[in-house]
Amino acid sequence: MDLLLHPEFEKNQTLYLSYNKFKKVDGKTVSTTAIMMAKLSGNQLTEQKDIFVAEPYQSTRRHYGAKMIFAKDGYLYFSVGERGDHEKNPQSLDNNSLGKIHRIHADGSIPKDNPFLSDKKVVPSTYSYGHRNPQGLAVNPKNGEIISHEHGPRGGDELNLILPKKNYGWPVISYGINYNGTILTNRTAKEGMEQPLHYWVPSIAPSGLAFANGNIYKGWDNNVMIGSLKYSYLNRCELVNNKVVKEELLFQNIGRVRDVRTSPDGYLYITVENPGIIYKLVPVN
């Protein structure tokens, strides 16, 4: 699902893979989101070790989340979707990893200042909850803030500022409706639940998230780049005081944009499906 290099990869050759982990229970296949740490030795993955496995396993085959980042605080953050069971998982803090964003050390151990450690029923890696299916995570290079986006149902895709111990509302509040057109909830806001920085109706099916480097892309400083699976474009969002003030649709009909990344040298790359192509974005002036 995702691939992330350790911040000191050149020294330790350590990387991380998020993937769908399967097992059989009473003859039935169930799966979950897992994070594997491994080392790249030549062209082989060695010392493979799961450092996180989300609970509970589910029989559904959707909403894994599975995006990973290293933030400026040095911790590994990653998303786990609610696996399609919105009635149970995203609002549950009772031994439930699903519909959450998590924070751990690079070796998988738990930071001592994680926000829910005082509650023994909460999975100790939990950082925030009430998420549907976050498939974008990025660190703002200006201030170190963590930004995420997640799929809404039919409408209501969200861009969120991720803060510790906050509840992002799914499915109690939402700007979307059920896929069959029925009303999911009549509330878009509730006390104690976070509002998105921005939301999309209709859904754009966001995938991939990165900040543009203003030194390379003049005029795009602090702009957020988001792929659209549904409409096959790259969405440039101008972010001012944590609000999207303008959107520009780039490369329309290029194909389903699966991921957006900023390389170490500051250039943007996008991956597009069918056929699978990686594009490098190069300014023309």
Active-site entry in 63, 86, 131, 198? 63
CA distance 137 to 162: 9
Check pLDDT > 90 for residue 72. Answer: yes
Please give the pLDDT value at position 275. 87
**Helix-strand-coil percent breakdown of the chain, rounded to 5?**
0, 45, 55
Quote the pLDDT of residue 285.
Answer: 77
For residues 102 and 143, the answer to whether their CB atoms sit within 8 Å is: no
* Strand-pair partners of 240: 243
Q: pTM of this prediction?
A: 0.97
pLDDT at residue 62, rounded to an integer = 95
- Let me know if 63 is a catalytic residue: yes
How many CA within 13 A on the CB side of residue 81? 29
